Structure 1
Amino acid sequence: MLTSQHKFLHLILKWLFPRRTVPLCLRHPQLHCPGLETVPKEMPVTTVTLDLSHNRIAQLKEVSFGGLSRLETLRLSHNQLTTIKPRAFQNSSGTLLRHLDLSSNHICDLEQHYFIDLPGLEELWLFNNRIVRVESSVFALLSNIRKAYLSHNRLTDFPFFSIQKHTHPYLLLLDLSSNRLPKLPLEDILNLPITLQKGLYLHNNSLVCDCSMYGLFHKWAERNFTSVTDFREEHTCFVYGIQKGTVRFFKHERYFEKCNFTGMRLFLAEQEASVSANAGSAVLLHCVTTLTGQHVTFFWVSPSQEYVAPPGNSDSIKMYSNGSLEIMEARTEDSGIYWCMAWDHQLQRNETREVNLTVAMPQNHESHEGFNTGFTTLLGCVVSLALVLMYLYLTPCRCPPCQKAPPPAANTTSPNQMIEAGAGSAQSSILTPTPPTTTEGPGRKVSTNKHVVFWKHHSKLLSPSQQKARETDSIMSVFSETPIMLP
């Protein structure tokens, strides 16, 4: 029987923990809790949280927790569990049990019947066990699962294909770190929901270095997935060659410089609802679906109502077994709605997806036209300038006919003055504000829309040096778009 001191302690704990979260060893001190080898049969039916951790329980028998209809949290960590019998959780709270801790035990296999009676389970702790095998249907009925911890085990494989968006819509974290996974099923992992990929922890495994493995983690790092960014130093892989060693591939990326990620675009690309491409380029459309496996088939329907199935209809349209459609050289007439369908023959389920493709002409096409127009304009300016220079320098000088000297009484101008006046007249015929009216000979007609400045010579007589300077200034005025100001 319980002593008065134990009863007093029990009353205090009952007052402090009204929802029956009292550790079992304190409520039943005569059982010597640190040495429990089986689950006690007599437990209050109002228990909400049951902590049986740090004992020596080796197995969970049938109906081990019968009658606990309000149980929400069950802790069995740090025991010696190796076996969970079928129906071990039957007649318990079932849908109410949300947290189950089986960490730090001796469990080797996860069999399909382990959690069949716990459809409401949200968090499952299985880390630090000896698990080497996980049956594909062990999580089948855990539709409400949110977090599953399976790190620090001995897993060499995991059924990623059994986790789909429609079967596990709330799963946000799957910890498989510190196991012995040698290779990753890339296609199955990338078929997982994006929300789960962000919380898929795979560091500290026995991965073999290859381009597909590196490409997956490199893509996740570019998208700042916490599963990679929080453990960059712990992502390692094995290199086999002359020397076998471990490489931290985010720190020594030079080992993957020769990787060709172009061939991996089928796996690493995410399909958007609308896709834009340039004419002449290759376009890859993905049939994103939650259906996977060997029983799933795909086909596409183009905007022109053309049916496309693997391997494609021609050299211009190819289709792959995973449902991706590739247009080798896109044309503007290929734009429109592409319709994809995935059909699972075993489950008799189908899913469809629409992708809107827009094909436009390359942007550099317009830049070529702009360059051609500018070049034509420049060439026209050069030709016009050449014609102006030809007019100024190559046109024959039409000197006026020589006039007979008048009698001395009628004209008192000296011969030298007459020569200078004749030269001024000749210059005035060229540098006049009005173009010549004659059009005799090539190049005589002057275009009035060119930037040419004409200067009319005044009747003031100049010395030969001044006249030469004026002629130079007049010629320089041809290359200016502003009036020439002479002193």
Structure 2
Amino acid sequence: MQHQSGCRGIWLLPLSLFLSSLGVARTGRSLLSCPTACLCASNILSCTKRDLVNVPQSLPRYTAQLDLSHNNLTHLRAQWTSIRLIHLHSLFLSHNNLHFISTEAFSPVPRLRYLDLSSNHLRTLDEFLFSELQELEVLLLYNNRIMEVDRSAFDEMVHLQKLYLSQNQIARFPVELVKDRSKLPQLTLLDLSSNRLKLLPTSDLQDLPAWMKNGLYLHNNSLTCDCEIYKLFTHWQYRQLSSVVDFQEELYCVHSKKTLSVFNMSSTLNCSEFKECAFEAHLGETLTISCDTKQQGMSKEWVTPNNERVPDEAGNSTARMLKDGSLQLRHIRVEDQGLYTCYAVGEVFNETLSVEVKVHNFTQHGPHDTLNTAYTTLVGCILSVVLVLIYLYLTPCRCWCRAGERPASHQGDSLSSSMLSTTPNHDPMAAGAGKDTGFDRRVAFLEPTGPGQGQNGKLKPGNTLPVPEGAKGQRKMSDPESVSSVFSDTPIVV
């Protein structure tokens, strides 16, 4: 028994020594993995206010948050860390003296989501500077000396949501950041306040969705006063956007070396008052209206002027709601006009948006078509009346309505010529018999042949017309230049 207990003691001694050495190793590794200039708490490293001129080496691979703020770092080169920190999601570099950042500086931290570079000495943002940070969500660059921003500095940052560029020296509005929605598709906040902006792309900014305008801060810039600036910010104030409501007193502009509030310059520049425009459409058109909410990703519902819920796009009604929450009116009718209401529900707040729709009672080219149709109808009516009058009063009288008178037969008549005579035919015999003494209307058709006829069957001046048998006297040909000129083609009423 004594021998067995001695053997057991011999085995227990190495085991205890192994466990104690393992604990020392763990303790030693824990102590050695944390840089001497930093404080470590699990995967968080705080190296702030240590007067560091370089980033500490041998950073632990498991580092998730690294704070290097309030030091004397001047450069951030590609080799600032010897290993890839694939777990690092937050990097704090504010309040240093950084004036140079390599385009490859962020290659070792591809999973970074939060980067603070504020309060440094950066002057330019070079091309593709942040392109390696494809998962970055928040970027702080305020309180630097940035004057130029390359158009490609933020390329491929598809997850960037908030970009702070205030308190710099930027003089050109980076319109490419907001105009092309595919560049920064998730950007909801762009702070450009306290810079040197003078001009704004008002038309491009007005076309932005409300959730983007709500996070576009432009206060404390010496903007040039004009009516477009006034309309832009008055509209944002009407929509109660945070970027204007929260900093209303700090939105000003300069006119004739005088600083004016953007909301009080209408009297100085004689700007027209802002009015919320309604949507207008013509009969048969398709109208699409977006529910322009101040927050992105809200659930939406539309209600018609008759307080009826608008069905989704699977419905067959005239009004339907699309997948993106927009209202679509197809083959619009006059009865579709009225006030449509969008109810939006979000995680932070709810919003109600009303949109008025006016429908013109004609197609887009309706007024012109109506005018052309009326004009054509009027001309047609006038022409019809003229033709009826011509038929009634200017056609030959072929009914022998006079008592005791028969038509005279002229074998020499021809359809090739006619003559108009304004001189009435006086028949002395008829007058003596007490017959009608009015004008004798006749059409004389003359043969082109005969000794007294000229070209085209016309009679030569001075010649007499053939007188039918039984008629007395002769009638001379009228002067061709007089009112009763001779015409060769058209029968003329006599």
Give the TM-score of the pair, scaled to structure 2: 0.48
Higher-helix-fraction structure: 1
Which structure has the larger Rg?
2
